[in-house]
Amino acid sequence: MTTFKLIPSILVLLGAAVASAEASPTYAHTQSFWAVSGTLNGAVLPGFPSLAWFEWGSTTEYGQMTAPVPVGASTKVVPVQAVLANLVAGQVYHARLVVSNATGFTFGADRQFITFDHQVTESSNRKVAMWFNGGTFGCAGGRDYTGWERGSPPLTNVVSIAPGTGIALETVLRDDGTAIQTAAWECAWERFWLVPRGFTNLVEITANMGLRIDGTLVSENEGIPSGSTNIVAISSGLYGRNNLALRADGTVVPWGLNGQINVPVGLSNIVAVAAGETSLALRSDGTVVHWSPIGLPVNLSNVVAICDGYRYSAALGANTVPTAFHSAWAGAENSDLLVQLLAWDPNPYDSLQFRILTLPPAGTLYQVENETRGVAITAPNTPVTDPNHQVFFVPPPDAVGNPYTSFTFAVNDGEVDSKGATATISLIGAPLVQCRRRRRACSSFVIP
């Protein structure tokens, strides 16, 4: 199963000094996937002459640290980087930023990242690409860009981007903790930009708000709950209608749509949040909590990242066991019956392989080849060869019954088998026609 990288954030408080870290593994194209190199990126607001470094490892015991670097005594965000080497592809790692100064040591909250299992090309010249559906905009009436700067925005040293709201197309976060919003008059593709008021010393942004390095929130809109402090992560849904903030103590602050502010009682030990049309929270044990109409996949565990969008949710983690579904099929006597084997896998890019576990006690299963009978399936654990996961059931002559027989099957996603499922077969007898002579009306009935 293909794995991807996760870019988490780490925030810590140190009196007047606060630190933030982002574990952002990048990879050199000259190295093979099993011996990759990566970079931990962070941000520090030291307040005192300070040193900063990262602790990292495959568990929360870490066991490894990067070389300490001086970060000065700035009262603004200072970026911090440290290069890692010999990371194992597909391995989940833990990292946290450590700040040391005259006030003592401060340890950031633990965050996780997972490495790529293939090579990518690293580039330090990061640029922002943008696209939109031009049919959704119109030129009539124009837009009010009062207060916006005209021309190309200074999109340098970009570390993250978020979709915009209103006339803003996107909000861009730079490594100095500043944010820029961009807009365009689509009729002439003329660019505008501005620095949102109060959007400074940021370590994270969403569509309509920013997280400052001191753990407080800033937004252009009303509605941030009072007492929203010690925040370490934020997430906003479509148009900023649904918002979640994660506190350093693992609790969640919600606001926005009424249906999403009802956080489950006792929700705690949370390490990540995701707001979309619904709401998700990731516990420290790798399990996911949701409070929405959208359910969770069976056996979802060992998750390291979550996201929630418009009518979909996604999780990054260990392989999830596929599910084979029970089904019932009915056919006519003395006729071949095409049976579709049904299953579902939460990992949408897995290639599923179906297998017949047990044969029907009566009748014969056949592979499907060019929509006709192929070779007979005569032994248990025979793989199904049809790409649409179909088999033919061929009954004995004149056989009927409801149900008549059944067989079982399972599905494999390349790593693990599902539980077995049963396909039940019913055979319906041919209808007999009876006519009443006088009125010449006919009726049909079936002899089971």
pLDDT-wise least confident of 97-106, 116-125, 202-211, 246-255? 116-125
Mean pLDDT, rounded, of the chain: 75
Res. 50 pLDDT band, cuts 50 70 90: confident
Spatial separation of the C-alpha atoms in residues 326 and 187, rounded to whole Å = 55
Q: Is the pLDDT of residue 412 over 50?
A: yes
Backbone phi, then psi, for 213, in 5-degree steps? -70, -15
Domain boundary among 86, 114, 142: 114
- Tell me, yes or no, whether 168 and 285 share the same domain: yes
Give the pLDDT of residue 144.
61
Whether 52 maps to a domain, the answer reads yes
Give the model's pLDDT for residue 341.
96
Q: Of 317, 350, 376, which marks where a domain is finished? A: 317
Domain of 382, CATH number, reads 2.60.40.10
| pLDDT: which is higher, 409 or 132 | 409
Residues 295 and 157 both lie in one domain: yes
Residue 436: inside a domain, yes or no?
Answer: no
Do 278 and 199 fall within a single domain?
A: yes
The dihedrals phi and psi of 391, each to the nearest 5 degrees, come to -135, 155
Tell me how crowded residue 394 is: count the other CB atoms within 10 A of its CB.
Answer: 16
CATH number at residue 215: 2.130.10.30
- 127, part of any domain: no
* Same-domain status, 139 and 38: no
Integer angstrom CA distances of residue 97 from 38, 57, 178, 353 = 16, 12, 21, 44
Residue 237 scores a pLDDT above 50: yes
Q: Give pLDDT, residue 146.
A: 63
Please give the pLDDT value at position 432.
Answer: 56
Residue 125 domain-assigned? no
Confidence of residue 375 (pLDDT cuts 50, 70, 90): very high
pLDDT band at 4 (very low <50, low <70, confident <90, very high): very low
pLDDT of 67 reads 92
Most confident of 30-34, 154-158, 305-309, 406-410: 406-410
The segment with the largest mean pLDDT, out of 157-166, 283-292, 378-387, is 378-387
Residue 433 resides in a domain: no
Residues 72, 138, single domain; the answer is: no
**Given a cut of 50, is residue 214 above it in pLDDT?**
yes
Quote the pLDDT of residue 184. Answer: 63
- Please indicate, yes or no, if residue 216 is contained in any of the structural domains: yes
In the chain, % of residues over pLDDT 70: 71
Q: Is 89 or 173 the better-scoring residue by pLDDT? A: 173
Q: How confident is the model at residue 43 (pLDDT cuts 50, 70, 90)?
A: confident
Average the pLDDT over 186-213 and give the result: 75
Closest C-alpha among 161, 157, 178 to residue 76: 178
Q: Does 424 lie in the same domain as 352?
A: yes
Q: What is the mean pLDDT of residues 73-84?
A: 79
**In the predicted structure, residue 23 carries a pLDDT above the cut 60:** no
The residue-averaged pLDDT of 71-86 equals 80
pLDDT reported for residue 169: 66
Residue 87 burial (10 A CB sphere; 0-12, 13-18, 19+):
buried
**pLDDT per residue over 262-282, tens digit each?**
788 889 888 888 888 778 898
Give the CA radius of gyration of the chain.
29
Same domain, 138 and 110: no
CB 108 within 8 A of CB 11: yes
Average pLDDT over residues 6-20: 35
Does residue 263 share a domain with residue 152?
A: yes
State whether 142 and 91 are in the same domain. no
- Better-scored residue on pLDDT, 78 or 250: 250
Confidence class for position 179, pLDDT limits 50, 70, 90: confident
pLDDT at 201: 81
- Do 291 and 328 lie in one domain? The reply is no
- End residue of a domain, out of 65, 83, 114: 114
Q: Which domain covers residue 61, as residue numbers?
A: 9-114
Calculate what percentage of the chain has a pLDDT beyond 90.
Answer: 23
Distance from the first to the final alpha carbon of the chain: 48
**pLDDT band per the 50, 70, 90 thresholds, residue 159:** confident
Instruction: Judge residue 391's burial from the number of C-beta atoms within 10 Å of its C-beta, 0-12 exposed, 13-18 middle, 19 or more buried.
Output: buried
Give the pLDDT of residue 397.
Answer: 94
Does 123 fall in a domain?
no
- Both 295 and 327 in a single domain? no
442 lies in a domain? no
Domain total of the chain: 3
Residues 245 and 375 in one domain: no
Burial class from Cβ neighbours inside 10 Å (0-12, 13-18, 19+) for residue 200 reads middle
Residue with the bigger pLDDT between 244 and 132: it is: 244
Where do runs of H (alpha helix) occur along 43-116? none
- pLDDT for 339 equals 96
